[in-house]
Amino acid sequence: MITFERFRITSLINCLKKEYPEEVAHALAFIITAQRGEDISGFEPTNDGVHYVDYIRNFDHSSRDQCVNVNADPTFIENTARSTARKLWYKLAGDKVDFNRDEEDLIKILEKYK
């Protein structure tokens, strides 16, 4: 059975994939989900970002309620999202991390989507 949470996060990723590569979409979904204070247990760090391991493959639906239009330069997003998500993952796990200025800016930009 597909939980509502898996459906919601998969829908968010599918919406983001319309604008960004899959790895970036997963990273952005992680940051947004974490900022919302929602369950992030389905996400895992990768070599260069964070991936939603509970992503529903072959699920071509994206709920309009989950769609976000990130109002920032796409190149900036693509260059910053994965490192930001990875550092945020480790910060939430209790590690000390230092975000650079671009990563801090991205976190602020994404705060409005929580």
pLDDT, tens digit only, all 114 positions of the chain:
677 888 889 989 998 998 999 999 999 999 999 999 999 999 999 998 999 998 887 666 555 555 777 889 999 999 999 999 999 999 999 999 999 999 999 999 999 887
pTM for the model stands at 0.90
Written as one letter, the residue type at 54 is: D
Of the candidates 12, 113, 114, the residue with the CA atom closest to the CA atom of residue 59: 12
Q: Please give the DSSP secondary-structure letter assigned to residue 72.
A: S
**Residue ranges per domain, the chain?**
4-113
Bridge partners (DSSP) listed for residue 43: 52
d(CA 102, CA 87): 13
d(CA 109, CA 71): 8
